[in-house]
Homo-oligomer: A and B are copies of this chain.
Amino acid sequence: MTLTQMFDPTAVAIVGASTTEGKIGYEAMANAAEFDSPVYPVNPSSKGTLFGEAFVPSVTDIDDDVDLALCCVPGPVTPEVIEECGEAGVGAVVVYAGGFAEAGEDGERLQQSVVEVAEEYDISVLGPNTSGFVVPRTNLLCSFASGAEKLPAGNTAVVAQSGGVAHALAFQSRRQGRGVSVMVGLGNRANVGFTDVIEYFDGDEDTGAIVIHVEGTDDGRALLEACRESETPVIAYKVGQSDVGEFAESHTGALTGDHELYLAGFAQYGIPTVDATDDLLDAAAALADSPEPDGPNVGVVTAQAGPGIIITDRIQRAGGRLPELTAETRDRVDELLSGVTYTGNPVDTGRPMPAFGDVVTAVAEDDNVDIVLVYELFEQAMGFPADALDGLAERVDKPILFATDGIEEDMADDKATLTDAGVPMFETPERAGDAAAVLARYAKIQGRAGAALEASR
C-alpha cells in the first residue's frame, strides 16, 4: 500500500457533499474546495453546484481519475460507498463517521466490513472516526474543521491517533509561528496506521521531523520499528499515564495499554518521548530546523540569570549536561564581558548588550559544546543578535536554539528575522530547556546506536 493517492492525489471526490452549513459534508467540501487540483462534490440527491463545483450523482460518474474520496456519509452506508469508490478506481478514502470499532460489537462488525471492502479494492482507509488530514503546502484540506485553510506549511509532520489532538497540535504550531508538512488524525486505523503514515512522511522532502500522539495500538512493536526505521527524527507523546482506559477505548477503539511498557519501548528503540503537546512541537522544531547534535553537551548563554537557572535545571533533569567551557572560550567571554558576570556555563551577560552575539558565537565555537541555547528577554534598544546568529548553526554544525519573551508586537520583526534565518524559537525558559534536553537525549541515543553499529561490524 502506498499513500501517494491519499496525500498527493490528482483529484478528490467528496461523497455525501451537502449544501447544509454545519454538516460534515458541507464543511469538508468547503475545505476541500481550496485544493489546487479538481474537486467533485458527490450526492445522488443534490443538483447544481457547491463552492462552484457541479454535483455528480456517484463517484463512478466522474470521468477524471479520482485518487481520493472524502466519505461524509453516516457509518452504516460507508462499506457501500467504499465499494463504489473501488469500482471507480479510487485508491484512498477518508471516513469521518463514528459508530465503528469505538462503539461496541455492532460497530466492530461495521468496521470489519469496511476493512474487507477496502482490501478487496486495495484502498487505503484513513479513519473511521477521524477529522481527516491537511497538507497545507498543496491546500489539500481533507478535514471538516474550520480554520484548516489558515494552517501554515512547515516541516513538522503531525501524526495523531486523535483527530482532535491532531488539530490542536496544528493550531498550536501556527500560534508559535511554525507550521506543518501534514496534520493527520488516524482515528480507528481501519487499515492506515502509524507505521504507514510514518513511512510515507519519512520519504517526504518537506518533512524534517515527525511527531506522533499515541493513545494505544494493537501492534506496538510495528510502531516502534517504524519509528526506528525512519531516517527523519520521530518524537513520541504517549498519553494515558493514569487509568483512562474505558473512556479511551470509547474513543478510537484502542486501549491505552501499559503506559510504562510504551515508554520503555520508545527508550529501547531510541525514540525521544515528551509529555505534552507543546513539548512535542518544540522538540520537532528543535530537531527539524537544526543540524544533528554530536553529543548531549549544552552551552547556555543568557542575558538574564533567573531564566538561565530554570533552563539549566530543565536540561540537567532531562539528561542533558552543561559542560565546562574551554579555557580559550572563557578568555574570549571574559574579555567581552569585562569579568562582571558569571562566565561558567551558563554564560550570563546580566543584560542584553551589543557584545551579546559575540558571546553566543564564542560559546557556539567551543569544542566542548554540542548544542547551544540562548535566552534573552527582548529590549527594544538592543534587539536580537540576528547578524551573529544568521548562518551560525550551519557554520559550527550545531543546533542553536533561541528563547525570548517580551511584548509580542514590539519584537515581531526581530523574531521574524531570526525565524527566517532558520533559528528555532521558543516561548518560555522551561520549553526551551526541555527542547534542548530532547536534542541532548537524541544525540545520546544516536551516539549509542552508532556505537552499536560500529561494534557489530
Chain A residues within CB distance 8 Å of chain B? 21-22, 27, 98-99, 145-147, 150, 160-168, 171-172, 174-175, 185, 213, 215, 239-244, 246-248, 250-252, 256, 275-278, 303-310, 312-313, 316-317, 340-342, 344, 346, 348, 350, 377-382, 405-408, 410, 427-431
- Name the residue of chain B whose CB is nearest to the CB of A164: B304
Scoring A160, A213, A306 by chain B CB atoms within 10 A of each residue's CB, the highest score goes to A306
Complex contact B410–A306 (CB within 8 A): no
Complex alpha-carbon distance, A244 and B172, angstroms: 31
With a CB–CB cut-off of 8 A, which chain B residues contact A21? 381
CB pair A429 B277 closer than 8 Å: yes
Q: B residues within 8 A CB of A277? A: 310, 428-430
Q: Which of B162, B247, B350 contacts A346 (CB 8 A)?
A: B247
Not counting A162-B309, A240-B309, A277-B430, a sample of 5 additional A-B residue pairs whose C-beta atoms are within 8 angstroms of each other reads A163-B306, A171-B405, A171-B407, A247-B305, A252-B305
Q: Is the CB of B410 within 8 A of A146?
A: yes
In this complex, the member of A147, A166, A167, A346 whose beta carbon has the largest number of chain B beta carbons within 10 angstroms is A147
Q: In the complex the two chains form, what is the Cα distance from A150 to B410 in whole Å?
A: 10
Please give, as numbers and ranges, the residues of chain B lying within 8 Å of A431 by CB-CB distance. Answer: 278
Given known A-B contacts A309-B239, A405-B172, A163 and B278 have beta carbons under 8 A apart: no
Give Cα A167 to B351, complex, Å. Answer: 13
How long is the Cα–Cα vector from A306 to B162 in the complex, in angstroms? 5
- A350 and B251 CA atoms in complex are apart in Å by 9
Residues of B within 8 A of A312 (CB): 242, 244, 247
Q: Is A251 in contact with B309, judged by CB distance below 8 angstroms?
A: yes
Q: Please, how many angstroms separate the alpha-carbon atoms of A45 and B140 in the complex?
A: 67
Give the residues in chain B near A145, CB-CB below 8 Å.
377, 379
**Which of B22, B147, B305, B342 interacts with A382 by CB under 8 Å?**
B22
Chain B residues whose CB sits within 8 angstroms of the CB of A243 once the complex forms: 316
A428 touching B342, Cβ below 8 Å? no
Q: How many copies does the complex hold?
A: 2
A-B contact pairs, 10 of them (CB 8 A): A146-B380, A147-B410, A162-B304, A162-B306, A162-B309, A175-B408, A247-B309, A247-B344, A251-B342, A275-B430
B242 touches A380 (CB 8 A): no
Contacts of A256 in B (CB 8 A): 309
For the complex of A and B, the 3 pairs showing the least CB-CB separation, nearest first, are A162-B306, A164-B304, A147-B407
Whether A150 touches B407, Cβ cut-off 8 Å, given contacts A247-B305, A276-B430, A278-B430, is yes
C-alpha gap A167/B167 in the complex (Å): 31
Could you tell me if B380 and A162 are in contact, using CB atoms closer than 8 angstroms?
no
Known A150-B410, A247-B305, A251-B309; contact A317-B381, beta-carbon cutoff 8 A: no
**Residues in chain B near residue A146, CB distance under 8 A:** 378-381, 406-407, 410
Across the interface, do A377 and B164 meet the contact criterion of CB distance under 8 Å?
yes
Q: How far is A10 from B242 in the complex, measured between Cα atoms in Å?
A: 54
Question: CA separation between A168 and B375, bound complex, in Å?
Answer: 11
List B contacts of A410 (CB < 8 A). Answer: 146-147, 150
Per a CB cutoff under 8 Å, which of B99, B185, B306, B317 touches A165?
Answer: B306
Chain B residues with CB below 8 A from A308, complex form: 164, 247, 251
B381 touching A160 by the CB < 8 A rule?
no
How long is the Cα–Cα vector from A407 to B240 in the complex, in angstroms? 27
Q: How far is the CB of A7 from chain B (nearest CB, A)?
A: 21
Q: Which of B150, B166, B250 meets A342, CB within 8 Å?
A: B250
Q: Are A306 and B251 in contact (CB-based, < 8 A)?
A: yes
Tell me how far the C-beta of A438 lies from the nearest C-beta in chain B, rounded to whole angstroms.
16
Distance in angstroms between the alpha carbons of A276 and B276 in the assembled complex: 13
Cα–Cα distance between A303 and B278 once the two chains are bound (Å): 20
A278 and B150 CA atoms in complex are apart in Å by: 26
Which residues of chain B come closer than 8 Å to A215, judged between CB atoms?
A: 306, 309
Q: Are B379 and A240 in contact, with the CB atoms below 8 A?
A: no
- A341 CB contacts on chain B under 8 angstroms: 98, 250
CB distance from A397 to the nearest CB of B (A): 27
